[in-house]
Structure formats: structure tokens, C-alpha cells
Structure 1
Amino acid sequence: MSSVGIVGAGRLGLAVARLAVASGHRVLVAGSAGPARVGPVVASHAPGAAAATVTEAASADLVVLAMPLTAYPTLPVAALVGRTVLDATNYWWELDGLRPDLADPATSTSEIVQAHLAGASVVKSLGHMSAADLEAEARPRGATGRKAVAVAGDDPAAVAQVVRFVDDLGFDPVVVGGLAEGIRFEPGTEIFGGDVDAAELRALVARFPDSQRGRYLAKIRARGGR
């Protein structure tokens, strides 16, 4: 059993918590409202998990970011030094507002999070499937029709840790490359929102440069990133 700290007590955070508990992990869930208010939600929607402070969740073996991306500056940087941080956040301009700093085509959002959490190892994963699909599509290892989840990171040990966790949750992990390659499964890409197997996920990753989003990013970056 390993410990998993989930920062975010919304639908995604609770879905990951339920799957992690079912796979035998000890799970801590933290929300912006604090343990006293998050506790009843966790007890009701993720039995077996425990409510915690963000700092407590940050002490887990693996830390999952399931909160709004705009909240990343509030993360406890010192507490996350040396930790593997699974970044499942995304930038949603409809909800987050127009944020040029988060929509910069010269970088991926997970690289922005990594720059803030300089002492941690950030790995992007889980965020390209909805909370509902994560629970509906989870399958035992080797099961027919098992879906795939993309993984991108720079630290081999951290990537391996996330790969094991994704497999535990019920999905075939597909490593797509370094953290910068996480842009291949951000909103607006073919992978985002899709429920596909490992072979199809690899095919989508491979044809990203020729996709509408891929061509757009290449064009913008060729002009200096703006």
C-alpha cells in the first residue's frame, strides 16, 4: 500500500480517490475549504479516503493535482520538494477567464506548474479523460477493451511511479515523452476527451503534428511563440 494525496475535492479528485481506494492505496483528499468542510464530502463520495489539509496531502508518496489550474500558485512548494506530482489540471478559458500566461503556445501548462514546483517532479496524466469516464472505463489489468491514459514527464523514476498508479487505477499507461509533450493531450487535441485503447492513443500522439492543433502550435512557435 502506498499513500496518495489528492489536492482537489471536486468530481475529478473524488473519482480518482474512489479508484485509488479500490486499488488498495491509502488516500488523503484536500480541498480549499479545509478538512472540516471537506470531510463529509469525502466520507460520502469516497469511502475509505480521509480528508486532509493540502500540506498533509502533499506528504503522500504520490500527489495528484485535481484542482483548478489557476490555483497552482497556492500549492505548498516546500512541502512538495522531492515528491512526484501527477498534474491532472487543464486550462479552461470559459471558467478560468482569459489568462495569456496559461495559454502561452510556447509551453505546456504542466511545464508552468513544474516551474513553480521546482523541487518536485511533475508528470502530466489523467486530465484528458472526464471524471465520469475514468470511473466507467476502469478495467482490471489484461481485460478486453481496457482504455489507455497518456503520461508525460521528464523524471524517469517519477514517470514510472505514475505509470504504476495509472495501471492500478484500471488503465493502460502510454508514455508519450517528456513533460513538454503533455501539450499533445491538452484541451483542443484529438486525445482530449477520447476513450481509446493503447494502440489508438499511440496513433493519436504520433499524428499530433499533422492535426489542426499541432499545425497551429508549430506555426505560432515558428513566429516566436506569440
Structure 2
Amino acid sequence: MGRTQTQTIGIIGSGLVGGAIARLAADAGYRVVLSNSRGPETISHLVQELGPRARAGTVDEAIAAGDIIALTLPLANAEALPAGELAGKVIIDQTNYYPEFWRNTELDSGEITSSELVQRHLADSTVVKALHNLDWNHMYSNARPTGDPERTTMPIAGDDATAKDIVTQFLETVGYDVVDAGSLAESWRIEPNTPIYFWPYAPAIPDGLTEDEQKRFYLEHPVPPVTPAVARKMIDSAERVTPAGGTLAAMPPAHVAIFMELASGDTVQK
């Protein structure tokens, strides 16, 4: 995963997940332009960690430079994105719907999925839902080279076959196998409250640990890989529930504690 790639990954949102995607991309040889709502100077420390393949920029600069654009910001902020500037871009939609932070009646009812909402706003872009169903820490630490027996599998969904091929190649390059969950209308199968969302990628914490020990265990322990066959079975077994959306109460407590300690405005509406 150390060769130089020809593509640039533009990242909108430099919080926990944005930083993890940036590290994966830079490690795999991609150029990276990171941006956030507070300005390039606020992420200079992260760019220094990533090395010469990464630089900080404005949102406009990340969009202009990016062959692939990763949205790692709260879903509530997606409709403020500059749709015109993003026209023609392949979008990795990492957003998830959590009504306790922001509520939308169309999403509650299941009339549309969260990625359909993003695609509707970015009508001239091609949206692919991916890298939304695991935490930032294990997103980075679980990545493995092709052929590694510990390599795990990520689901994607989208309406455009070419865009899905591009995102699949990116995910395979940074360290994951991929299964196609279908269209954006079918992406509810990989949203919160489904078998493939989050829990298969989180370590099982043993009983009897203190809160600090639980957090340390959560961060330090790897997760057994999800094979493509198991991922497919999880996707196919999903059942749609309404009202839609995830809750922090349904997540591992150690993850929630760490997340709320570290999360920035680029990660969650606080």
C-alpha cells in the first residue's frame, strides 16, 4: 500500500473520520487535500503528520483538486455544500442519519435514504455511500493489503456503476474488500440499525473492566475480519424499520464515550 497513485482525494470535514480517511489515502499513495469549516490553518498539525502527499486547503480548493470527494461532515450540513462546484465529482458519502442531532421527516418515514437526500442536493454529482459504518479508529487499523487473511469487507451503495467502480478501486487500494449493496434507494440495508452497521467492526469488550479500561481495550484491540460472503448475508438479511435513524444508545458505550470526548463540529452536531 505504499506506491504512488495518480488521483487526489478531496476531503470535506477534517474531524475524526476525515482524518482517518486522509491517513488511509496518504499511506496508499494518494494525494490528499483536507478542508474544514474553520480554515486550512486549523488542520496544519494533521497535514504535517500525513507527510508530503497531503495539504490543507479551503473547501473550494479540496473540491477543485479532488478526483474523489469524501464527505465526512454531519448530514445536517450536506445541503449547504456547493452543488455547482461539486458537479461532475464522484462523492463518497460517509454521512449517517442520527435524529437526536438533526431531524428530517422524509428520512424518519423511510421515504428516502440519507444518501438519496445527499444525491438530490448534489444532482450533478455521483454519490456512493461508503466508509460510513465503522468508527475512525478501526477504519484505519483494520485496513490490510490484498490477500491478507485479516482483510475485512466494506459495503457500498450507489446509482452510477462507473462511480461505484471508482470508489471500489479506492477502497481496495487503501485496504478493504468490497461488496455492492445496490442502489442509493437500497442503501437503507447498510444504514444504522442493520446487521452490517458498526457492530461487526467493533471489538467485543470483556465484562469487568472499568470505564477507562473499556475505552483503552476498544481503541487497542483489532476486530475479526468480515468476509465478502458474510457481508453479503448481512446485507441481504437487513429489515427496514421506521422511524429510520441511529441512536447513540444503540452504539458500544466505550465508543460513544471516546467519540463525544474527541468529536469536532466537522464530525457531529453538538
Are 1:199 and 2:237 an aligned pair?
Answer: no
Partner deviation per Cα, 1:123-173 (whole Å, 9 max, x = no partner): 101101111111111000111021101011111110100000110110001
2:95 to 76, 89, 96: 89
Q: 1:71 pairs with 66, 70, 77, which one?
A: 77
Preserved CA contact (<8 Å) 1:42 1:50: yes
SS at match of 1:145: coil
Name the CA distance, whole Å, in 1 between partners of 2:132 and 2:88. 22
On the 8 A contact 2:76/2:102 being kept in 1, the answer is no
Q: Distance in 2 between matches of 1:22 and 1:153?
A: 26
8 Å contact 2:195–2:237 — kept in the other structure?
no
Amino acid at match of 2:149: T
5 Å-filtered alignment, 1:43-192, equals: 43-44=48-49, 46-47=50-51, 48-59=53-64, 60-94=66-100, 96-192=101-197
| Cα deviation code 1:154-197 (max 9, x no counterpart) | 11110100000110110001111111121111111111102322
CA RMSD of aligned residues (A): 1.7
Aligned position for 2:250:
none
Q: Secondary structure at the match of 2:147?
A: coil
How far has the Cα of 1:100 moved from its partner?
2.6
Which residue identity is paired with 1:41?
L
AA in 2 matched with 1:201: A
Q: Once the two structures are superposed, what CA deviation does each residue of 1:47-104 show, in whole Å capped at 9, x if it has no partner?
A: 342111111111210000011111102211111111100101111223x233334434
| 1:121–1:190 Cα change, 3 Å | same
Report how far residue 42 of structure 1 moved.
3.1
Secondary structure in 2 matching 1:129:
coil
| Cα contact 1:91–1:103 (8 A) shared by 2 | no
TM-score by length of 2: 0.75
Q: Which moved more, 1:141-150 or 1:47-56?
A: 47-56
- Percent identity, aligned pairs only, is 35
The 2-side partners of 1:184 and 1:97 are apart by 21
Work out whether residues 155 and 181 of structure 2, in 8 Å CA contact, stay in contact via their aligned partners in 1: yes
SS in structure 1 of the partner of residue 186 of structure 2: helix
Provide structure 1 residue ranges, at least 5 long, that are not aligned to the other structure. Answer: 221-226
Give 3-state SS (helix, strand or coil) of 2:108's partner.
coil
How big is each residue's C-alpha offset from its partner over 1:2-44, in whole Å with a ceiling of 9 and x where there is no partner?
A: 1100111001000000000011100011111011222233324
In 2, distance between residues paired with 1:144 and 1:155?
30
Q: Taking structure 1 as reference, are residues 102 and 8 closer, same or farther at Cα in structure 2, changes over 3 Å only?
A: farther
Amino acid at match of 1:84: V
Find the aligned partners of 2:128 and 2:155 in 1 and give their Cα distance. Answer: 10
How far apart in 1 are the matches of 2:102 and 2:161?
34
Matches of 2:88 and 2:111, distance apart in 1: 27
1:35 matched residue in structure 2: 40
TM, length-normalised to structure 1: 0.88
Q: Which amino acid aligns with 2:74?
A: P
- 1-side partners of 2:167 and 2:230: how far apart? 20
Give the distance between the partners of 1:147 and 1:82, measured in 2 at CA: 30
